[in-house]
């Protein structure tokens, strides 16, 4: 009997919290809502040390925070969410640490596709962004499978940056642009075409080949742990983005941080839009 009462109380409490959150989001929707939020997931290992948790448990706690925050974003009407999951530079860490993250990533990629998961609930299309050839074969295959499985979803977009750095992305885009120009000229340098601008690499050529070319530039970039460094993440795309650096470690991030970021975005939105039009 007591278990049924506890279950009923928990259900009523959950319903009340969801209702209050919807009311809050409705109030926020009076102003402009960001189309694209990007997150640097900083502080998982520090969180584990803070609470004397086992190796890897900080990343598991961080994954739960990610799922919750994604739910809030999609409820609010944010279409694109980008996360910096694993940098190319992270491969320099101890092999056991890299393997632990890869194992967790494989487990969570497979978990994303469960019927009751957030991907299916909110119609999320998943993209894995970066030099995927650097990933272990099981992780790469799981990433490709998840992209294929969600290809028909259109309501929301999740971009997971793995084996990614911004400098690698820019170098890749430049290389692909050079290939296009070379192939268009049949392998010959045509001085006449260069004078006309046909043989010159343009900004649009570079942007066409960027890994992140499938999404608009982020409106807000959030890095937890109070750090203000971009750490080689979206350097090309964040010139007009609002940067928000809450002191909370990634597993500690919550609704209040998202609301504060959106409020600050709405405060500066007129200025940012004016600046973008001038570019």
Q: How far apart are CA 47 and CA 241, in angstroms?
A: 27
The active-site residue out of 6, 35, 42, 198 is 42
The token duo for 115 is: 């019927």
Q: Which of 38, 104, 50, 63 is nearest to 250 (CA)?
A: 63
CA dihedral 70, 73, 78, 83 (to 10 degrees): -40
Q: Using CB atoms within 10 Å of the CB of residue 98, give its burial: 0 to 12 exposed, 13 to 18 middle, 19+ buried.
A: middle
Q: Using CB atoms within 10 Å of the CB of residue 116, give its burial: 0 to 12 exposed, 13 to 18 middle, 19+ buried.
A: exposed
* Residue pointed to by tokens 């075409």: 193
The contacts found for 115-122 with CB under 8 angstroms, 24 or more apart, are: 118/67, 118/70, 118/71, 118/74, 119/150, 119/153, 119/158, 122/70, 122/71, 122/74, 122/155, 122/156
Active site residue 6: no
* Residue pointed to by tokens 């998840």: 146
Q: What residues act catalytically?
A: 42
């Amino acid at each position: 009997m007591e278990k049924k009462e506890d279950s009923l109380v928990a259900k009523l409490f959950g319903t009340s919290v969801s209702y209050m959150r919807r009311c809050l989001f409705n109030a926020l929707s009076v102003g402009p809502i960001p189309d694209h939020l990007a997150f640097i997931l900083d502080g998982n290992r520090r969180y584990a040390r803070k609470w004397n948790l086992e190796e890897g448990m900080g990343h598991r706690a961080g994954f739960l925070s990610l799922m919750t925050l994604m739910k809030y974003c999609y409820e609010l009407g944010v279409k694109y969410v980008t996360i910096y999951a694993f940098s190319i530079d992270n491969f320099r860490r101890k092999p056991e640490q890299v393997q632990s993250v890869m194992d967790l990533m494989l487990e969570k990629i497979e978990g994303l596709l469960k019927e009751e998961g957030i991907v299916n609930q909110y119609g999320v299309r998943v993209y894995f962004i970066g030099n995927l050839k650097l990933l272990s074969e099981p992780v790469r295959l799981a990433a490709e499978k998840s992209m294929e499985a969600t290809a028909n979803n259109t309501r929301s977009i999740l971009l997971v940056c793995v084996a990614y750095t911004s400098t690698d992305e820019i170098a890749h885009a430049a290389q692909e642009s050079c290939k296009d120009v070379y192939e268009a000229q049949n392998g010959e340098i045509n001085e006449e075409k260069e004078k006309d601008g046909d043989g010159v690499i343009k900004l649009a050529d570079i942007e066409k080949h960027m890994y992140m070319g499938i999404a608009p530039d982020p409106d807000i970039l959030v890095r937890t742990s109070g750090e203000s460094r971009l750490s080689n993440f979206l350097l090309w795309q964040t010139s007009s983005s609002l940067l928000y650096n809450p002191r909370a470690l990634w597993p500690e991030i919550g609704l209040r941080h998202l609301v504060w970021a959106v409020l600050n975005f709405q405060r500066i939105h007129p200025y940012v839009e004016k600046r973008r039009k001038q570019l």
